[in-house]
């Protein structure tokens, strides 16, 4: 079964600082990978998805970018954080060959 590792678990960053969140997946190969964000009191918003190394699609225009340098590694980045980037960031992959998402433990980001 898959295991998704995300780190750090919590992060407090000042406005204008850079960001790098990492997600690695075990127990599967060539998975589809997703980054979601959950703002306080709101649902999950899909930010990026990747079907393979170097393949990134963005769902919404924003201050963030994503990269997939290795098959089981997915990175979320920003050059300059905004207050509106605060939220709970979740990496996910399908549990099987389907649409259901299996989530990592998430990173709670607070931009101050």
Partner 1 sequence: QKEVEQNSGPLSVPEGAIASLNCTYSDRGSQSFFWYRQYSGKSPELIMFIYSNGDKEDGRFTAQLNKASQYVSLLIRDSQPSDSATYLCAVGFSGGYNKLIFGAGTRLAVHP
Which residues are near partner 1 by CB under 8 A? Answer: 32, 36, 41-46, 49, 51, 57, 90, 94-95, 98-106, 108
Beta pairing partners, 60? none
Q: Where are the alpha helices (DSSP H) in 1-112?
A: none
Q: Return the half-sphere exposure (C-beta side, CA atoms, 13 A cut-off) of residue 80.
A: 1
Residue 50: CB minimum distance to partner 1, A? 9
Specify the residue, 42 or 80, whose C-beta has the smaller distance to partner 1. 42
| Residue 83 or 96 with smaller CB distance to partner 1 | 96
Q: How far is CA 33 from CA 76, 84, 85, 108, in A?
A: 12, 23, 20, 19
Measured from the CB atom, is 12 or 15 closer to partner 1? 12
């Amino acid at each position: 079964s898959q295991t998704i590792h995300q780190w750090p678990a919590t992060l407090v960053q000042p406005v204008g600082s850079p960001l790098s969140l990492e997600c690695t997946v075990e127990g599967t190969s060539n998975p589809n990978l997703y980054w979601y964000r959950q703002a306080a009191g709101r649902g999950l918003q899909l930010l990026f998805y990747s079907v393979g190394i170097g393949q990134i699609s963005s769902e919404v225009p924003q201050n963030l970018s994503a990269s997939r340098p290795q098959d089981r590694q997915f990175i979320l980045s920003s050059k300059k954080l905004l207050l509106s980037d605060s939220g709970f960031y979740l990496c996910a992959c399908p549990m099987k060959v389907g649409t259901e998402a299996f989530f990592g433990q998430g990173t709670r980001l607070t931009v101050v």
